[in-house]
Structure 1
Amino acid sequence: MAKKDKADKKGGKKDKAGRKKEAACEVASGAFAPIVTQTARSLRTLLSRNLADCGLYAGQDGVVQALAEEDGLTPGALAQKLGVKAPTMTRTIGRMEAQGFVERRADTLDHRLTKVFLTDGGRASLERIAAAAEACEREALRGLSGKEAKTLLRLLLAVEENLQAAIGRH
């Protein structure tokens, strides 16, 4: 009987562990999207506050960084690269032009096209954008070990790939 009791207890532990894992999956499946969404909002809010010190508004950092990679993009190309709608990008460019970060110029080959270029002020903001992003990242990852931060990044990249694949299928 003692052997049977031990076997039952062992089996019970396995069942209990299995139930815990299933329960964790249920909690994760119901909580995953809201947690990731709220985390992204909080991250963006903190980054926006940090960027405000540079004179930039939310989303403008992406425009500066995209133009730093490839200056002279059309508003449509910028919108596509940053995943926003063209009218949103047009408003953003207008605001950034008024702030002195970018300028619009007619394309030298096709005068019907308008291209967006960084100004000296826009280029000067790159270091401040990087510093604002680094400060935000430090806060977000505070208390995590380097290994945990790398694992989190790897897992988030895997989730992003899954989501992009699902978007592509629809």
Structure 2
Amino acid sequence: MGKKDKQEKALRKQEKALRKREEALSEPGALANSLVQASRSLRTVLSRNLTATGLYAGQDGVILALFEQDGLTTGQLAQALGVKPPTMTRTIGRMEAQGFLARRDDAGDGRLSKVYLTDLGRSAVSSITASVANCDRLAVSGLSGKEVKTLIRLLKAVDANLNPDGVPAEDEASAG
């Protein structure tokens, strides 16, 4: 097979792939609706699983971020979780009132306030990780390991396409 034949074959293959993608998207909103519904279902199950801890969906991410690196500022937490600082401020206030977090002035810079886990916050970590793991297992039941890896890879690609600068769009309900 000559170079020109290989190029033509590759071009036909690309055109066929484009046609298949367009056919898959022939129903307007099918992809967006499916992703949104799956996300809502996942959040509902996770919220239900977190009920025993006293946390709401979105608050688990705050605790896990602080468990990984305690003593973050509101801005650092907001950036890490892809929400706006005012949303994070409200979330921290709520979680502080619940007893999961405490704010303290930074020892080196009195203008800064940092957020720390309390003993109650630290004790919630194992319940959170178990809840998330159970939710993950339920979400992919019936899928093979290869399908799960492919799904994760594809969702990351979709996210990268929608967020080329790497900053996720804020979900108003995400920080509970």
Question: Helix, strand or coil for the counterpart of 1:53?
Answer: helix
- The answer to whether the aligner puts 1:144 opposite 2:173 as a matched pair is no
Q: Counterpart of 2:12?
A: none
Distance 1:69 1:97 in 2: 18
Normalised to the residue count of structure 1, the TM-score between the two structures is: 0.80
Give the aligned residue type for 1:24. A
Q: What is the count of residue pairs matched by the alignment?
A: 150
* Of 62-71 and 80-89, the range deviating more from structure 2: 80-89
Higher-Rg member (1/2): 1
Q: Counterpart of 1:89?
A: 88
Normalised to the residue count of structure 2, the TM-score between the two structures is: 0.78
Listed as ranges, the gaps of 5+ residues in structure 1 are 1-16
Distance 2:30 2:96 in 1: 41
Q: Counterpart of 2:132?
A: 133
Q: Counterpart of 2:78?
A: 79
Do the aligned residues in 1 keep the contact of 2:70 with 2:117 (CA within 8 Å)? yes
* Structure with the larger helix share: 1
Q: Counterpart of 2:13?
A: none
**How many percent identity over aligned positions?**
60
Distance 1:76 1:23 in 2: 43
CA RMSD of aligned residues (A): 2.1
Return the offset for 1:166.
6.9
Q: Counterpart of 1:5?
A: none
Deviation digits for residues 35-79 of structure 1, max 9, x if unmatched?
Answer: 101111111111111111111112110100111111111112111
Change (3 A) 1:76 1:51: same
Give the aligned residue type for 1:48. S
Return the offset for 1:109.
0.9
Listed as ranges, the gaps of 5+ residues in structure 2 are 1-15, 168-176
Distance 1:65 1:166 in 2: 24
Q: Counterpart of 2:152?
A: 153
Q: Counterpart of 1:30?
A: 29
Give the aligned residue type for 1:32. L
Distance 1:67 1:166 in 2: 24
Question: Helix, strand or coil for the counterpart of 1:152?
Answer: helix
